[in-house]
Amino acid sequence: MNPVVLGISDSIASDFPDEYKEWTGERKVLEHYKKSIYDLLEFLEMKPETLKEILTDFVSIEPASLGKAGYGHSARIANELGYTGFRSHLMDLGGASVTGALGQARIILQSDPEAVVLIAAADIPKSAFKQISDLKRLNETVCHPLYELNYGATLISMYGLLMKRMMYENSITQKDLEQITKRFRANAIINPRASVYGQEITEKQITRTIVDPYSAPMIAIVTDHGFATLLVSEKKAKKLQTQGKIKKGINPMYLIGAGQAVHSEYFMFKGDFATPAGRAGDLAFSTAGIEREEIDYAWIYDCFVGMIILQSSEYFGVYQKRNFRKSKKRNYKIQKW
């Protein structure tokens, strides 16, 4: 039994009135939840009252910008949305949280085919003060307290060192990274919902180094964004259509496999370039029952453009030098937000 995704919706800052800029962080996050869920229900032609009636599971992702965590966030959002009586699930995998939430929904539906699972999340950029305090905490989490932090190591600097080594060992050049980055931006420029819509990368931006070898356009940042999706079993989807609770002309997308893994080693303990991507990929392909060679379209995310080369290689078992050439030359669909 493979779960089906009934629909996906999102929200961005431009979806709201001009006074959005004056709202508090909590209100912005809540309104993104409301907007993305409202648009999802509108697409499904499902009444809000119907979702409140049939919802069994709510998978939420805590907004890092608000500095809040745990059950309190899920309960607060649910109360504001009018949901009650559901099973609460909270996902926290950083940039991988949405895919982790999809994996959690798959587990839920495999154990309970009658479940109706809502995944929803929202976040906004942090204030400058919070960015500094959070970066300090993040550095303390990922950098060794004695052998890395004491020497001024930060998360971004360690990623820079990792990329420099990979460039050396695989003959990847700075120009290669710039070409891949410009390819990403070329897609974003024509997407009205992208945060950099219509914004060409200037020569100054692409050559101004933040941490060698990365310039600002090569690093993902948090933008105002909300997201919602609904997952059910195929049998449940047909039942809801028969009952007239969702529209009939939906072509559901099957979620045939999922995998997740967390890497907890300090940088100094990494003997090679291995990341959790390889393990997560193995789990996803094994649960899906398909081979890597059968994939026609790959949509891969990471915060640093160089890591996309590495993680793509681990997902598909492709040598890194060959993989970055694909990223530059072919219609090889990979994403950096």
Provide the 3-class DSSP secondary structure of residue 91: strand
CA–CA separation, 213 and 11 (whole Å): 33
β-pair type (57-61, 117-123): parallel
CA–CA separation, 316 and 280 (whole Å): 11
Neighbours of 280 (CB within 10 A): 24
CA–CA separation, 101 and 121 (whole Å): 10
The pTM score is: 0.85
Q: Concatenate the DSSP letters of all residues of 226-245 into one string.
A: EEEEEEE-HHHHHHHHHTTS
E runs forming strands in 39-189: 57-61, 87-91, 117-123
CA–CA separation, 255 and 91 (whole Å): 18
CA–CA separation, 320 and 331 (whole Å): 17
Q: Which pLDDT tens digits describe the chain residue by residue (337 residues)?
A: 788 999 999 999 999 999 999 999 889 999 999 999 999 999 999 999 999 999 999 998 877 767 666 567 778 888 888 898 999 888 877 777 888 899 999 999 999 999 999 999 998 886 554 555 666 777 777 788 888 888 888 888 888 988 998 899 889 999 999 999 999 899 999 999 998 999 999 999 999 999 999 999 998 877 899 999 999 999 999 999 999 999 988 888 999 999 888 777 777 777 666 778 888 889 999 999 999 989 998 888 788 898 888 888 888 877 555 555 555 555 444 443 3
Q: CB–CB of 268/147 below 8 Å?
A: yes
| Domain boundaries along the sequence of the chain | 4-125+222-254, 128-221+260-329
Q: How far is CA 7 from CA 175, 253, 281, 287, in A?
A: 39, 8, 24, 22
Give the CATH superfamily of 4-125+222-254: Thiolase/Chalcone synthase (3.40.47.10)
